Amino acid sequence: MSEKNPEIEYEGRKYLRIPVKTHVIKNGENIIEIVEKYATPLLKKDDILFVTEKAVAICQNRAYPVKSIKPRPLAIFLSKYVTKTKHGIGLGIPETMEMALRECGVLRILFAACVSAITKTLFKRKGDFYRIAGYRASSIDGPTPNTIPPYNEYVVLGPLYPDKVAKEISKKVGVDVLIVDLNDLGGKILGVSDKKIDKKKMFMILRDNPLGQSREQTPIGIIRVI
């Protein structure tokens, strides 16, 4: 379980964020069946369900063992210039850069790299690479020691069609659903089951990443007004 405060206040209302523990999800499993098994017994009327992008991506067979990825020379070269931080390696190893090249295309990654090099040098500005390369590059999760096995040795891509997945889950469980990309630095709401859902509000309620970022094994959560 996450050690973070399960309660948060936003715009004068209090919300309870309930982490839902599951088994270790494997490539190709059915995310709807997982949600039905673990979350449905806990749901109440007017709850909002949220599912991590990593769980959805794994169910879409978008998780790859690092050893199975063979980086091309360009990936090896470009990865040397990516800044590595304590928060994650990003595209800073050849294997994650290789997946970015596959996901985004060589021309887009090269253009992003060139612009980033220029703006860093001339204006000391960071972040242009990911702004240009797009979400498919920034959503790539590399292997980290604190990730639950076996995904501490995997590269996981971002999920496909998050809105569609959210709608499919919502249809089964009967509450609004979010697909979220959260971490201790922030994140975003990737998919919603209903366009009327206020993404900004939902992000503010989840902004402290209540599911945690280590080995909590809680890829699903519930938002409940209290």
pLDDT band at 85 (very low <50, low <70, confident <90, very high): low
Give the residue-averaged pLDDT of 170-180: 97
Give the residue-averaged pLDDT of 153-170: 97
User: What pTM was computed for the model?
Assistant: 0.91
Measured from the Cβ of residue 37, the count of other Cβ atoms closer than 10 Å reads 13
pLDDT band at 124 (very low <50, low <70, confident <90, very high): confident
Where is pLDDT greater, at 59 or 85?
59
- Domain positions in the chain are 7-62+159-225, 70-156
Q: Each residue of 15-35: pLDDT tens digit?
A: 999 999 999 999 999 999 999
Q: Each residue of 55-77: pLDDT tens digit?
A: 999 999 999 999 999 999 999 99
Both structure tokens of 34: 């997982």
CATH 3.30.1330.100 for domain 7-62+159-225? yes
